[in-house]
Structure 1
């Protein structure tokens, strides 16, 4: 593919020529460095948000061995990441999973990938924005409740939208600032806890505290492993801004792998520090201590110190929402550029001043804000919808992994700057096996005493999202409107 690019061109011209060879021209500003691209993925993954948000729930469910889920899930997601690296290296197109699915399989498959992933991203933006509420309350000294959490969620969504509308350079700088704050914060907070507030021995990581479900510990561990499964995505966001990054075929695969390595390492360090800092592990597992995070921070840092910690956590939430929204808007823009959604004419426009998709960004602010408001009135239902967000992202991921396997079976030989060579087949198969097992684990009903619509809430919500997507696709046939290449990955390899 790249052999058709003329020699002697500048780096900027080579990037533009590569994109033209893929069927597109772009007015994005290619100003995002390798580290800024990585910072976008890192703040989307957000070790602080990912670990701190569900730490207490997973520790109570599976005890200290839940720590190992961060390692195991990280290894599984690295397999998925490697497949993404091969695809984005050959097809460095804005929008990430949607254009990759289009080139690997075809237009219909790509439409469903984009639909599922965009729905999941909008819900995730709302969930993260709402999740910042309790930390804001602690920082400012008021009692968190559904009303204050809703106001915080709306404010955070608005702030992220305004920052994103300011352009790629500001997005990159805020992402970099968020990365530095989060990494330094995780190291400083975790280091302090390990040195001065360690209450548990290292051997506690292997102590199940006799947790049993139907006589076995493994169901409890699988439940606790959601700690890792709700954390390790974000690396795909590096590819969402492919047209804003110079030399994307080389830089983005590297940034993706860095996101897993550095983000995963920071997450494991933060989780280890928290586990060893728990004063009374039995109280957490029995439910007597329902909020071990507050117990740890209040005991370790006092009220004033805890507020300083909350300030660091707040920066992580802001940068996470910013990165999520940036990824969602580029996906929507890419969708619209190929005429795959109503309102494409407006959604595919880039601002002449900031070179970002203004209408797509506003849409990716309005939809999450609407979900935040609905969450206030439908608090029981919104939890199920939010839990779908993670599994929806996993579904979209596995549609790419299975799409890559389909393309390989049709003769696709990755032709980007990054390839797995002879390891492509085994890694692809292993990534698909891991992903399918993760989806089953995430959607498995674990509350037998609850009503069926709650027990099977994730499956029900997922079926509704997929059903609506299929209905829209069948009625309006959006995939037939654009003329961009589709299913050409394996066709190119045959020539």
Structure 2
């Protein structure tokens, strides 16, 4: 960027001249922290618990077979993102990648869509705690009013943690992810073992359509509606997103070009396998349990019926921990995106939002801003009686748009990308791109269904707000004023920070 105080990664966070000390975020995250960020954002406990009831209603038990296909599709995207993260390991992920390789205008659009996604998906996951889990756990009547208050409190707590200390945030998330891994594996094994011993597993139920007509089940649907099996893909599409959040912490990760791609791919694979085994166990047990289809928390109903009320309560506590971890990672990722765009002077209020607090070494102002935006989105959706469906639908649509745009960019510009220092697709590049392209086109076509009008409205309103701001940005600076730092500058900046990673690791990084 053509500014006197711009460093190799963009304008200085403190806005001061080159002769003064510049606060920096510490490069201290290792593989497990990076894996935990990707795993915590995806959070199968959160995604399955939130959307399983919708799948039963629209696709029946047979809908779980869309899960492995979704895993393959999302894994192909994770591989493409891994190739990009290895070449441009800078905070801001898709915003940075598209800006530097395609151009600043398209990069800004991608960044704004990512910001809109992170804002709405934070509320989508946190609202689940207040609207479905806590009423079931403590046996009280949930209302839109108390769900609003509780969700607002959860969002505030997550923001305080992120703003206060990155290290503490990661410690909390690491513990939560470890608990989720152990808990989900234990629950899955217990469901299979106890269900088989007590005769409560009905594997024929896995292929039942339930209340959904079998005729036309696999059809593509019409111009304004998707077929039953197509709607089942939303379970995987909503759950297995956010793995790229590990790339958004690239400037805080040791040896990011190697660590981040590995963490993203491993998170998707482990979540995909564990999630599918859990779905099989829950669905097989649901075939011999009454009232599952009418339950507000069908997964908890199945667990309680098979393993007892105590284990059912433990499951709900596990889901609360998982959702809190998921929201914590989303807040962390959203804060880093706002900071990255503000550092490049491209976000509303960038003068304040690009600052790194000297005491906490975190983008404190960006954390507060992300919290306020989340509270506004919560206020918009919380009065709706169908808020949870609208939130998770918008939280599925927006990443599909982000993924499609980024994969398309990679496909067009892959031959002009800088060399990788840690991960490359090699001869698998074309097959991976084909799988990712087919999957994303199919996924986006699902959203022609008339039930997604509210999420589309949210997306269009956010686009309109972004368009007004960006038009003003172009008028004030002109297109030439939005030039991104050259790739050579990026490499020099990364080289300058690598010794910090080597010192922290006690040896040479590369």
* Fold similarity call, TM over 0.5: yes
CA distance in 1, matches of 2:480, 2:347: 11
Q: In the alignment, does 2:452 pair up with 1:445?
A: no
Q: In the alignment, does 2:485 pair up with 1:485?
A: yes
Structure 1 residues 55-454: aligned runs within 5 Å: 55-133=52-130, 134-197=132-195, 199-209=200-210, 211-212=212-213, 215-218=216-219, 219-280=227-288, 291-379=297-385, 383-384=389-390, 386-408=392-414, 411-412=416-417, 414-441=419-446, 443-447=447-451
Q: Deviations over 1:127-150 (max 9, x none)?
A: 111111121233333222212211
CA distance in 2, matches of 1:325, 1:229: 20
Structure 2 equivalent of residue 3 of structure 1: none
- Alignment equivalent of 1:27, drawn from 24, 28, 47: 24
Q: Is the 8 A contact 1:340 1:481 kept in 2?
A: no
CA distance in 1, matches of 2:89, 2:153: 33
Shift of 1:209: 4.9
Q: Is the 8 A contact 1:168 1:244 kept in 2?
A: no
Decide whether aligned partners of structure 1 residues 215 and 247 sit closer, same or farther in structure 2, where only a CA change above 3 A counts.
closer
TM-score by length of 1: 0.86
Decide whether aligned partners of structure 1 residues 116 and 139 sit closer, same or farther in structure 2, where only a CA change above 3 A counts.
same
Shift of 1:304: 3.7
In the alignment of these two chains, the number of paired residues is 459
Structure 2 equivalent of residue 450 of structure 1: none
Q: Is the 8 A contact 1:32 1:245 kept in 2?
A: yes
Decide whether aligned partners of structure 1 residues 381 and 318 sit closer, same or farther in structure 2, where only a CA change above 3 A counts.
closer
Decide whether aligned partners of structure 1 residues 381 and 157 sit closer, same or farther in structure 2, where only a CA change above 3 A counts.
closer
Shift of 1:422: 2.9
- Alignment equivalent of 2:46, drawn from 46, 49, 54: 49
Shift of 1:290: 5.9
Specify the SS of the correspondent of 1:456. Answer: helix
CA distance in 2, matches of 1:289, 1:309: 16
Shift of 1:23: 6.4
Q: Is the 8 A contact 1:97 1:113 kept in 2?
A: yes
Q: Deviations over 1:229-249 (max 9, x none)?
A: 111112100101001111001
Shift of 1:345: 1.6
Structure 1 equivalent of residue 17 of structure 2: none
Q: Is the 8 A contact 2:124 2:391 kept in 1?
A: no
Decide whether aligned partners of structure 1 residues 355 and 170 sit closer, same or farther in structure 2, where only a CA change above 3 A counts.
same
Q: Is the 8 A contact 2:202 2:285 kept in 1?
A: no
CA distance in 2, matches of 1:283, 1:357: 48
Runs of 5+ unmatched residues, structure 1: 1-19, 448-454, 490-495
Decide whether aligned partners of structure 1 residues 200 and 178 sit closer, same or farther in structure 2, where only a CA change above 3 A counts.
same
Shift of 1:380: 5.1
Q: Is the 8 A contact 1:37 1:245 kept in 2?
A: yes
Decide whether aligned partners of structure 1 residues 289 and 356 sit closer, same or farther in structure 2, where only a CA change above 3 A counts.
closer
Q: Is the 8 A contact 1:86 1:416 kept in 2?
A: no
Shift of 1:102: 0.9
- Cα RMSD over matched residues? 2.6
Q: Is the 8 A contact 1:405 1:429 kept in 2?
A: no
Shift of 1:210: 8.1
CA distance in 2, matches of 1:484, 1:413: 15
CA distance in 1, matches of 2:214, 2:454: 21
Shift of 1:203: 4.0
CA distance in 2, matches of 1:70, 1:252: 24
Shift of 1:205: 2.6
Q: Is the 8 A contact 2:238 2:392 kept in 1?
A: no
CA distance in 1, matches of 2:349, 2:68: 43
Specify the SS of the correspondent of 1:297. Answer: helix
Q: Is the 8 A contact 1:129 1:157 kept in 2?
A: yes
Q: Is the 8 A contact 1:50 1:230 kept in 2?
A: yes
Specify the SS of the correspondent of 2:346. Answer: coil
Q: Deviations over 1:309-354 (max 9, x none)?
A: 2111110011010000001110100000100112112111112122
